[in-house]
Structure 1
């Protein structure tokens, strides 16, 4: 039997709505797998996830829609304020309330006192979600009673908690640009799910939703005129230069520039691609001979999100390719099924404009050789650069690889060895978003400890050998400046300059 997962965003017009909505779902034979409702945040919206046959899910959707429970659009409901001139006839109030209920109008205020100053006036304010029914509702009441319309508004009063999710959706839309309502509702459901799950680890529900927005907003704000990068240009040999571009958020882009071609290691976020190309032009890295090879060290979008923009051959690990294809950064790890890992990947790939390549070249399986305790996948030589591709343990992410260029004294460690101590405060703050939302940026935090120790041992041994010839091992960290070792610590190597457009 074909089975699928589906979600419904439910409008809650009254206290019995959840009971009736769940009853409708139960009658279709599908199973509720998740629900979330918090009256103090938004008393009118509930999230329900279900599992069942496609036919059952469609039947439930239709039934919920007919009952006025299903939210399918992101828009503020219209509030109508009017006064009804009521005759002194028993049952009048009841009849008016029945009309309001028939048209799914939610009462926001009701005032009537036949011993007061205006004994024949019933003052009403109702919220109508289906705007096409507003005039029909007024006409239905006017057919029986005299009515005076006092005004309309779109429910944008900031004190109205009923609109929390609608306002939140509009804030997401501000980051993404024009986005279809069904897709926004899907995002709302997913963001709500990650926030719900993280409450189990002591995080605040609303705080998580705000962290998600701050992440997206920071990326948007650091493009165009807000873009900047910390740049290191290091002469490796007479004719070969290494460039490191620390972007505003996320990992670094590395370029090995030779007279016959360039090798790129990691591409940065897709959202920064236009800015990065403008920056490359400033450093004369945009023209011939061009990029001959791009290496994606792993599947996090801050390291591979712009890869689809380039025409050069792209090389990566099969595990990284699966991370990209499944849209789950925890693919292949013990945390693969955790909702917050899955939703975080969807969120960050969306905000960061993930643009993966259509096809890649996969590194071969292990040669049987090892470098330290790490499997050697292959060797290559290109543009006078000899490289060794080393397979990681999978502590930070399944499919991660390292690049070692022995003759040049370069080790690209991706996100296993980081120089966090020398991150700028704004970059440290940005990295905190990911830590908050996935608890640890490493999909296997226990494994990464040994992985980092073993990779650092290789770095220390190589550095010791190079020093015999008066050289140093240059460590290209996934985050932070290009560094060398100093008594076990990483210290920035060479000069760091800041790049900004037109400065």
Structure 2
């Protein structure tokens, strides 16, 4: 017995949903999930069933034979017109029969014999195919006087009666895959999150809107819309640290010293071409000088452009597993969360996921007996004459996340354990709120995340007490910062705003 899913078309007539459910039951399918909400789309239902493969094929065949199976989410032709119907009993029913025979989905109908247009019916509808729209118009012209108000075959004009078709049209702009099967499967996943978040009290319209906001933001901030906030910090006379805050997602850190550069985290794949152009502007010869990279964890905004650079990529074994399985919550207590699974899939598609190739991956030890402030020391890596400890976090933000510390120079790369939220621009703050909304918390274990933050602060303060110097805290997002007198993060040095020239 396996678990299968499909999308059903539910006609607007009594008993239609019962008929679909009855066919599934009759053919020995056990319904594990159903989501049908007329307020979203009155003609679409999502099913997950447990049954044999043979039964699944029979269920699909039966549903398809009565027109109840959705195999496509192509944009539909839209038709809006006025029609003069004869003033007699049954005239409207005859008109609706003609429309129904043509496969029309009625979006609106407006008639009032006491109103301003007592003999005119105003109708809007979507049709399955352009040739059906043409056939319907020819048929109507033979029976009635009609005036066409709008006729759109591009699918731009869609109404709420076909919401999922409308939503799928928007998704196509971001996923780079026009295959109907792929899109329907992705839509099933999104619908599952809508079902879950609605039960938690969220508005389904807001859930759908956040998916679109994410795709819109990533696409409009590439190419001519790309920008970054940049800090250039001298660490030693021979070594400079660059922090590149990208429009959305995590920062890229680049150490530049004679003959070599080293990168910590890569940003989203969708920004990789823009990042290369930006690196060149700041005199960084990434193609010739990049020696290796360290990936702090498996979120797409930290490792999603790793495949753009053909160099060794050091990471924890859990990070590789997260990359392989496509679930950011793998290895945590939220591993089975549908919200985490679908968010990972969505952000990978929208951000052009391109993590380091497996052949370039260099795995660090899983654990270690040596520790720094309670974090296991997995390795000590030299960068530009300084030694950096690679520490294993406790898995609060994500299992396998690394923290990188240089005890000599007071450099602490905290990944997403600690960051200066006050340094976020308004657009970055809005973008980061999307993930918080869609997975309810970006930390896979909020309790562990709180404990980690405390330990990271102890590490930074310990360095300051030991040396009398400020520890540079390089969070996964936001500016490189230091702790002020109240132990709050404040931006260190100058920040330059970069845009493509």
TM-score by length of 1: 0.87
Distance 1:25 1:79 in 2: 34
**Deviation at 1:357?**
2.1
Is 1:180 paired with 2:193? no
**Deviation at 1:418?**
0.8
**Deviation at 1:405?**
1.9
Q: Where in structure 2 are the equivalents of 1:118-133 lying within 5 Å?
A: 128-129=127-128
| Corresponding residue for residue 76 of structure 1 | 76
| Corresponding residue for residue 428 of structure 2 | 427
**Deviation at 1:426?**
1.8
Q: Matched residue of 1:393: which SS?
A: coil
| Corresponding residue for residue 256 of structure 1 | 255
Q: Which runs of 4+ in 1 moved over 3 A?
A: 77-86, 90-111, 121-128, 130-139, 145-160, 175-178
**Deviation at 1:450?**
0.8
Is 1:55 paired with 2:29? no
| Corresponding residue for residue 201 of structure 2 | 202
| Corresponding residue for residue 244 of structure 2 | 245
2:476 to 475, 478, 487: 478
**Deviation at 1:397?**
0.4
Deviates more, 1:160-169 or 1:71-80: 71-80
Distance 1:124 1:370 in 2: 72
Deviation string for 1:226-268 (max 9, x for gaps)?
A: 1111111111111011110011111110011121311110000
**Deviation at 1:158?**
5.9
**Deviation at 1:173?**
2.1
**Deviation at 1:178?**
5.8
Is 1:343 paired with 2:363? no
Distance 2:240 2:156 in 1: 58
Q: Where in structure 2 are the equivalents of 1:373-452 lying within 5 Å?
A: 373-452=374-453
Distance 1:39 1:246 in 2: 43
Distance 1:110 1:221 in 2: 39
**Deviation at 1:180?**
2.4
Q: Where in structure 2 are the equivalents of 1:156-175 lying within 5 Å?
A: 160-175=159-174
Deviates more, 1:361-370 or 1:202-211: 361-370
Distance 2:220 2:214 in 1: 10
Distance 2:122 2:495 in 1: 68
In 2, are the aligned partners of 1:84 and 1:147 still within 8 Å (CA)? no
In 2, are the aligned partners of 1:73 and 1:182 still within 8 Å (CA)? no
Change (3 A) 1:147 1:84: farther
| Corresponding residue for residue 492 of structure 2 | 493
Distance 1:125 1:274 in 2: 44
| Corresponding residue for residue 273 of structure 2 | 274
In 2, are the aligned partners of 1:267 and 1:304 still within 8 Å (CA)? yes
In 1, are the aligned partners of 2:76 and 2:158 still within 8 Å (CA)? no
| Corresponding residue for residue 368 of structure 2 | 367
Distance 2:188 2:174 in 1: 17
Change (3 A) 1:417 1:106: closer
Change (3 A) 1:126 1:353: closer
Change (3 A) 1:257 1:97: closer
Q: Matched residue of 2:395: which SS?
A: coil
Distance 1:179 1:302 in 2: 24
Q: Matched residue of 1:236: which SS?
A: strand
| Corresponding residue for residue 222 of structure 1 | 221
Deviation string for 1:353-407 (max 9, x for gaps)?
A: 1111221111013231111111111222254332211000000001101111223
| Corresponding residue for residue 5 of structure 1 | 4
In 1, are the aligned partners of 2:397 and 2:444 still within 8 Å (CA)? yes
Distance 1:497 1:123 in 2: 57
**Deviation at 1:67?**
1.3
| Corresponding residue for residue 232 of structure 2 | 233
**Deviation at 1:186?**
2.3
| Corresponding residue for residue 46 of structure 1 | 45
Distance 2:279 2:122 in 1: 66
Change (3 A) 1:492 1:173: same
In 1, are the aligned partners of 2:46 and 2:188 still within 8 Å (CA)? yes
Change (3 A) 1:58 1:424: same
Unaligned runs of 5+ in 1: none
Unaligned runs of 5+ in 2: none
Q: CA RMSD, aligned part only?
A: 3.4
Distance 1:363 1:61 in 2: 47
**Deviation at 1:92?**
11
| Corresponding residue for residue 32 of structure 2 | 33
